[in-house]
Amino acid sequence: MNKGLEIIEAHYLFDIPYSKIEAVIHPQSVIHSMVEFDDGSTIAQASPPNMKGPISFALGYPDRVKGAMPPVDWTQSHSWSFTPIDVARFPAISLARHCGEIGKGLPAVFNAANEVAVQAFVDGNISFPQIVKTVSAVVEKMSASALTAPRDLADVSAIEEDARLVASSEVARARA
């Protein structure tokens, strides 16, 4: 789910078409983003596997916050691996891309339903696999009503509130 949200974020933050956004699994979580250029070269952003760097950059933008996190120790040996995402095993990726490509209110539906489903999992009310099933059911149920583009933050909040209600209903149905 998080990787799917990151794909949607990359589209909106950098105005990149979904067809140009790729995601991979990187278990070490040291490379936070990579940009591949037309000449074939790649620039990667590497830092310790936590969110201190991105959060400090967001808070201090456009400046970097000195000492926000320790740097990668390049004097030590590192092994990093990257593997393609098996969309059959991780269906949230395809669902996120679907919501993002359709756009309008569906990314907000996807996000809000995910928040409700994750909280239900943390609370022990649904199983881990039910997170994607719940979000998928909410997206399906709200596809028609979420096809209007939000005009402002109030519209986004209203769409998310509706999605939370539908997701809560799906969680209750899963528990029954």
Q: Which of 64, 84, 104 is the last residue of a domain?
A: 84
Instruction: Report percent pLDDT > 70 for the chain.
Output: 99
Name the one residue in this structure whose structure tokens are 């539906």.
109
Instruction: Report percent pLDDT > 90 for the chain.
Output: 77
Name the one residue in this structure whose structure tokens are 């979580």.
29
Q: Which structural domain range is residue 166 located in?
A: 92-175
Task: pLDDT band for 54, please (50, 70, 90 cuts).
Answer: confident
Domain co-membership, 65 together with 39: yes
pLDDT of amino acid 120: 97
Taking every pair of Cα atoms in the chain, the longest distance, rounded to a whole number of angstroms, is 55
State how far the Cα of 86 lies from the Cα of 154, in Å rounded to an integer: 36
Domain co-membership, 167 together with 100: yes
CA torsion sign for 111, 113, 114, 120 is positive
Q: Which of 39, 67, 84 is the last residue of a domain?
A: 84
80 within 8 A of 44, measured Cβ to Cβ: no
Amino acid, single-letter form, for residue 4: G
For the domain that residue 157 is a member of, what is the CATH number? Answer: 1.10.1740.10
Domain co-membership, 39 together with 99: no
Domain co-membership, 65 together with 41: yes
83-127 tens-digit pLDDT: 999 999 999 999 999 999 999 999 999 999 999 999 999 999 999
Domain co-membership, 58 together with 132: no
What is the rounded average pLDDT for all residues in the chain? 93
**DSSP secondary structure letters along 15-53:** T--GGG---EE-TT--EEEEEE-TTS-EEEEE--SSSHH
Token pair for residue 124? 């022990």
Domain count for the chain, please give it: 2
